[in-house]
Amino acid sequence: MSVNTLVLPGDTIEASATDQKKCIVGPGLRKEGERIVATRAGILKHRRPNTYWVEGHQKRYIPAKGDCVIGVVTSKGGETIRVNIGASELASLSVFAFEGATKRNRPDVDVGDLVMAQVLMANRGIEPELVCVDSYGKKGMLGVLRSPTAFLIKVPVNLINNGERQGQSRSRCLNVGEAPVLHVQHVAVAAWSPSSF
């Protein structure tokens, strides 16, 4: 299959990559050994040097491991926080998945808070699992987005992908006038807040 053509689930994608440049597969694609296979119908897209994804007009976000997402806390219970990230199922976020969190030092997260997290695990039939720390255990930009002036804007997934074609990075803070705007690729939820960054 070549770029900008229709692919169907099960189609094998011919990606050109050298040993130094591993192919990065995005939404709609999956690596199966040495092959790259389409998992949903849509148009095959490519960004230099080696990123491929399938762009479709879906209504729901399909979580993929490593995606940076913004979601709304819908419930808390015990050691698990449930977060709406715009997918078909709510995602789970452990209270221990925050920087410095212990049984005695739990994060201050309330229902209705906006949380920026990374998808740790996303498989079909299993609810997505989120974390608010990087691989070094540091929060970086992840965690609860605290601001009394934050807005939640729902954007169709295909519009967010259009920004990707224009060269925007996976998650990047863009300055629009005086207010920073957070663009998160492949997420049906985005947030704007002048004081959260």
CATH number of the domain residue 133 falls in: 2.40.50.140
Asked, for residue 157, whether it belongs to a domain, the answer is yes
Contact 42, 6 (CB under 8 A): yes
What is the spatial distance between Cα 36 and Cα 155, in angstroms, rounded to a whole number? Answer: 28
Both 76 and 112 in one domain: the answer is yes
Query: Dihedral sign, CA of 53, 54, 56, 61?
Result: negative
What is the spatial distance between Cα 89 and Cα 130, in angstroms, rounded to a whole number? Answer: 13
pTM of the entire predicted model: 0.61
Both 32 and 115 in one domain: the answer is no
Contact 155, 148 (CB under 8 A): no
Asked, for residue 60, whether it belongs to a domain, the answer is no
- Reported as a single tens digit per residue, the pLDDT across 20-50 is 357 778 778 888 887 888 888 888 888 877 7
Full residue range of the structural domain in which residue 98 is found? 68-192
- Reported as a single tens digit per residue, the pLDDT across 123-173 is 877 899 999 988 887 888 898 987 776 666 766 555 554 444 343 333 333
Asked, for residue 62, whether it belongs to a domain, the answer is no
pLDDT at residue 168, as a whole number: 37
What is the spatial distance between Cα 188 and Cα 158, in angstroms, rounded to a whole number? Answer: 9
The total domain count for the chain is 2
